[in-house]
Amino acid sequence: MESGNDLFNYLKDIANNCGGNLLELNIKHIKPKQSIRLKCQMPLCRHYGVCKVCPPFIPSVQEFTEALSDYSKAFLIVYRERISDIEEYRKDYAAELKLAEIVHNLEAAAFKRGEYQAIGLVVGGCKLCEKCAPPGESCRHPRRARPSPEGLGIDITKLAREAGVPIEWPPKEYVHLLGLLLI
């Protein structure tokens, strides 16, 4: 394993080369809350109970909070894209798939550098399949599918705003898709 700055610069170069941006976060600012996960159920997200990497199939907020104490670094991944029509944008998952690819590449790069516990998270529910594998069947992409920070209780929008990302909510001109890498 290498020094924090060397690892950050290495990962930042990868993110930049993939079209994203990487910001280092203070991991102590990540405070999972049940109220964030509750948004998966109220109003009911279309991924809840369907997607293999969404609640209720992922660790509870309490379980994740306990596991989070084993991590020492957190990196916010930002993929920004200009939009003209939010309704049309919501039908096209190309940007979300791009973010998933960036997060996957960063997680793999950290792993190759000796950070064997590195995990990546991606907002918005998995979009790797047009339709998730039916109940009783395994995920078709277990090495690439990642849970959302929100599903684990992380207020990723708040973290991004605290890091200086100009989040528009609801998006008007730009959408900022967010991921998280824990090491």
Q: Angle, nearest 10°, between helix axes 94-112 and 4-17?
A: 150
Domain limits of the chain? 4-182
Q: Say what the pLDDT of residue 130 is.
A: 86
Identify the band that residue 158 occupies on the pLDDT scale cut at 50, 70 and 90: very high
* CA 161 from centroid of its chain's CA atoms: 15
Alpha carbon distance 11, 23 (integer Å)? 10
Which segments of 90-157 are extended strands (E)? 119-122
- Non-local CB neighbours of 97 within 8 Å, separated by 6+ positions: 127, 128
Question: Could you read off the pLDDT of 101-152 as tens digits, one per residue?
Answer: 999 999 999 999 999 999 999 998 888 988 889 888 999 998 899 999 999 9
Is the pTM for the entire model greater than 0.85? yes
Q: Which two tokens stand for residue 4?
A: 């924090």
